[in-house]
Each structure stands twice: as structure tokens, then as C-alpha cells.
Amino acid sequence: MPNLVNVSYHQTGKSTGTNTMGMREIKTRAFESRDAQYLLLKAPPASGKSRALMFLALDKLINQGIKKVIVAVPERSIGGSFSKTDLTKDGFFSDWEPNDIYNLCTPGDDGSSSKVKAFHKFMDSDEKILICTHATLRFACEELDDSKFNSTLLAIDEFHHVSADANNRLGELLKMIMSKSSAHIVAMTGSYFRGDSVPILTPENEAKFTKVTYNYYEQLNGYNFLKSLGIGYHFYTGKFTSAILEVLDTDKKTIIHIPNVNSGESTKDKHNEVDFIIDAIGKVIKQDSETGVIYVERHADGKVLKVADLVEDSSRERDKIVNYLRNVKSVDDMDLIIALGMAKEGFDWPFCEHALTVGYRGSLTEIIQIIGRCTRDSNNKTHAQFTNLIAQPEAIQDDVKLATNNMLKAITASLLMEQVLAPNFKFKTKLDNDDDDIEPGVIKIRGFKKPSSKRVKDIVESDLNDLKATILQDDIMLKAIPGNVDPEVINKVLIPKIIRIKYPELSDEEIEEIRQYVVVDSVIKAGEIKEVGDQRFIRMTDKFINIDDIHIDLIDTINPFQKAFEILSKSVTTKVLKVIQDTIEATRIKMDFEEAKILWPKIVQFKKMYNKEPSLQANDPLERRMAECIIYLKEEKRKLMANG
């Protein structure tokens, strides 16, 4: 199956270049906001957020009166990203030198009394830097007064683990520290947009953060080696173990994420799944007792591959291989990593070319994180690939609606990836007498509203893709995408409703401003822009329109997310598409068995006469109703079978 998204970049080298203090582009941008008390750094995986935090933390310690720095990471393996680092050799004014005693990302229970005691001892000592897990931070803070964080910088890595949900302990902890201490906070997330149902912060707390955003396009466009990224979906029937070799190329450095044991794709035996994958590749020669590396002789040609098993339950064995992976220096040090929950975020293997993931990923955050495993710039690759191996839904399954919804999420997620990976445009209001020169990356729209508040400006600059993800995953929108709802209804009714739910604090005027940005940005990015001389044209409704003539009323008559369905229909097999279509139709059809009994003889006669089934797209209303009848009867049969 071809990629749904395949984006090429210019290899400018800009994102890997450094300034006189040894900072790459993302670090320079973050450092410019170093005086902010609350800083939210949103940048893709592998962009250099860890090093950016070091620069920020050292400036706060040396120049801003901060006494202590606490760095909290979601899991112990990520703690290595914040180990001692020589920064002065490249021109910075200080080195990052945490004391090993206060690196609490060591083997053992993250909530153990020894780690909690070490945290408390640090708070009462003259030491400057502590590194711990989110869990250790939570447990330690249960016995600390919030005022203890006065004059402290709290840096939270992979900030999407925080949530405004009242049951999220890390989110509640952060809220209390913000309200009851003078602490500075640097929050970092590798997810350019979240796209999940629960917000990270409450609107009032989010408004306090200065946001620094660095997007995927800027990062990948500025690499030296990586030129393109492909995003594809592959459907299988039966068990995934029988299909995985269709998409696994062992000549490419690959991370395989097997499905969660509670998911429908899982065989419920994770160790057997790992063994099956390894046996399908080749014969195990040995497993190194010091490093945990498994050596596998490939069936095809006898080449020996190095494999890492991160599914292993034994923490002792898992720590061996994690330590080995942390010190990988050469492209030949590892060939294949098999993981379950690990190696999704904060995991650095620059040589990785292919992220192969089994099972639906409803969370766009998780998709972004997994893709980030293969998007490091490295001289061994010019192309990175993300492949999602997905079970083909069966119409007789009880969870077909859930499966269909998840598939649509996957497809719309891929659409958003394309938008994230495309250049950003800036939109301005065009006046009738506006003859200014065209600015690069700027498009002027007649009737366009300027942001009237800082909150709207922040959402437009930092959260537009987050908002699009929310809109595209909304149940009503998913049904509207195939063209069943008038575009003007989508733009002026459905989208504002979703914006109001996501941002309840906004006024009607602010919602309209954001709505316009969502619609215009989606339409422009889904269109094809051509330049002829000094004029630019965009393809809309199958014809090119001068960008200078675009106005918001014209754009409001176009479904801004139509391309999501176009991608779906072009990329999914006819059989799968029919299942999806019928499932969605079944939720809308109003029919009873009495009408179906009357229509059934007509359907039989129609099939004999035309040698085909009635079509939902027919012009004849009777034929369309017969097609709906078939779907209705299939759904009724499915319900009977499900109930035994």
C-alpha cells in the first residue's frame, strides 16, 4: 500500500547549524525567552529540547537568582539525556554538571523511600541540580510544602504526561506549585500538537506560559542528510505475526512496537510475539550476557543481525540492553529493536530508518512520538518511514464501529502529519487598496479578522494543529467529512461548536477569529499553490484562483477537511472502504423491518436485471433507498449474531 503522506525537504542544514554559544536553531529560539517564569517549549522529538533546557537552567541559576533545578522525566531511561555535558567548548558560559548522587533515574522503584529521601535531602542541601522521574517527583512532593519550590526551576520533560484531569496527580501537583510558590517552570513536549481529549493545562494556567514553538517542517527542512519522510498504513487479516514480514525490511534499522496486550491486535502473549518475529527473521546464534544483545542469523543470506528485546519483563535484563542502547555510537551497533511501551519517547537511536507500529493508535500524541524515533538526522539515511500495521475490520465484529472510528483517526492523523510537515503560512487581512509587496510565506485574505487578544494569538501560533486534531476526531465531524454535510454548515456551525467546547473561556468574537484561521489554514495547506511571475494561485474547487482574490466568504463554501476523505478513499482497499462506508451509513439510516420486507423483492429484481447491487450514490431515490435497506439488513444480522 502506498504512503498516505510523502514529504520531501530541502536539506538546508539550518537546523543543525550552531551560533557562537553552540546553540542550534531551536535552542537559540528558546534562549531568547529565558526570562519567562513559565515557559512551554513545543518542539518535535529529536530536535534538541534536552540541551535547550540545560542552557535555560544554567542561565536561571547563574543570572536570575534561581537556587535549584529539578528535571523530571517520564521514565528512567530518558534521564541519560540530562547527564554531564561540556557546553563551554562551544562558547557557552558554563557547563552542565549535575552531581551523580542526585541523578535518581537509577534502577529500582521510582517511589522507593530511598529516592524520596534523596529528593528531600537535595531540597535542604546546597546542591544545584537533581534529575528524577515524574513518579519520584510526585511521591516526594506528597511530604513537601509547596513553598519549598520558591527560587526553584522545575523542568518537566515530555509534558504531555501532565493533564488538567483532576485524577492526574502530576497535573494537580503542577497546579499547586504554580499557585503557592515562586517556582519557575520549563515544560517541554515532543508532540507538536496533542490531539487528545483532555487538555494539558487549564485555560487560565496555559495563558500564563510563554510559548516557544518549533515545528517539524523547520526541523526536517534544515537537516543535512534526511530528505524525506513517508507515512503509510498496511492492512492485514488474521494475526499480525503472519503479516509483519510484508512490511519489515531487515536491511533497514527498525523499531517495531508490538500491540498492547489489552488491544484487539494482540495475541495476548507478548513474549511469544517477540519470539515469532525473531524466528521469522532468522536463527538465534547467541545472546550476549553482558549487553543483552541477541545475535540472529538471517534466513535469507546468513547475515548476522543485532536485535534488542525491550519487551523482557526482568528489569535486570532490560536494564542491560537499555544501557547498551544508550551508548550506541555506530550504525553497526544495532539493527532491530522490539518494544512494547518503551522506546516511544525520549529514546535516541539516530540511525533508525523505520518505525513500524502494530495496532491502532487513537492518540495523535503517541503517533508523533513514535514517528520521532526515526526522524533524527544521520548520514546513514535520506528517507525515514513510519508504517502502521492495522487489522482490517470485519463487518461482523462487535467493535466494528470502534475499529472504523480508529481507522478514520489514523487517516486523519496522517493528514495532520502532512499539515505539520508543510511550511507555515502567515495570514493577514487584505484591504482593497493594499498594493504592498508580497512577503515570503504571507497570504492576504479579504475579510480576514486579526487576533483581537493575546489568547487568540497564542492559540493561532501554537495550538492550531492541536485544534485541528480535535476537530477531525470529533464524531460529528467524522460523519461530515465524506461530503454528507454542506461545507458552510461544517465551517459556520460544527467547527465553532468544537472550538467553544475546547476553549470555553473565549468570547464569540474570539471563536470566530480562530474559526477563520482553522478554515483558511486547512484550505490553503490542502490546496496546490503555483507561482506565475509575481502572482500566486491556489487550486480550489478544481480551478486556480489568484491568491489576491481569495476572501473568507469564498473559502467558507469549501469543506476544509475534504482531503482527509480523499486520502482515505484513494489509499484503502475497496473492501475496507465499503465496510467503513456501510458502518457510518448504518448509524444514520432510519428504517424498520416492515419497510425492509417490502423493499427486499425489489432489491432481488434489481440485482437480476442489472447484475449489481443498488448504489448509495445513485440519482434514483428508490435505488438509494434499496442500498440503504441492504446496509440496514446487514447491521440487523450483525446485531443478531453478536447477541448469539
pLDDT computed for residue 396 by the predictor: 46
Rounded average pLDDT per 10-residue block, the chain, 644 residues:
64 65 81 95 83 95 97 86 91 93 88 92 95 93 90 91 74 90 91 60 82 82 85 78 88 92 80 93 94 95 94 83 88 94 72 90 74 89 88 55 55 61 78 66 83 88 79 73 75 92 90 93 80 78 78 85 59 55 63 90 93 83 89 81 64
Q: Are 154 and 7 in contact (CB under 8 A)?
A: no
pLDDT computed for residue 189 by the predictor: 84
**Residues whose CB is less than 8 angstroms from the CB of residue 297 and which lie 6 or more positions away in sequence, other chains included:** 282, 283, 284, 285, 303, 304, 305
Return the percent helix, strand and coil in the chain, to nearest 5: 45, 15, 40
Residue 612 C-alpha from the chain's centroid: 42
**Residues whose CB is less than 8 angstroms from the CB of residue 114 and which lie 6 or more positions away in sequence, other chains included:** 108
pLDDT computed for residue 484 by the predictor: 64
Neighbouring-strand partners of residue 73: 133
The whole-angstrom separation of Cα 208 and Cα 91 is 32
pLDDT computed for residue 591 by the predictor: 85
Q: How many CA atoms lie within 13 A of 256 on its CB side?
A: 27
The whole-angstrom separation of Cα 11 and Cα 153 is 36
pLDDT computed for residue 605 by the predictor: 94
pLDDT computed for residue 232 by the predictor: 77
DSSP alpha helix (H) spans, 392-452? 400-420
Amino acid at 159: F
- Residue 252 backbone zone (phi > 0: left; psi -120 to 50: alpha; other: beta): beta
pLDDT computed for residue 409 by the predictor: 60
Q: How many CA atoms lie within 13 A of 245 on its CB side?
A: 13
| Domains delineated in the chain | 14-214 (3.40.50.300), 225-391 (3.40.50.300), 426-566 (no CATH), 589-642 (no CATH)
Closest CA to 359 of 370, 343, 347, 372: 370
Q: How many CA atoms lie within 13 A of 206 on its CB side?
A: 22
pLDDT computed for residue 380 by the predictor: 96
Q: pTM to 2 decimals?
A: 0.72
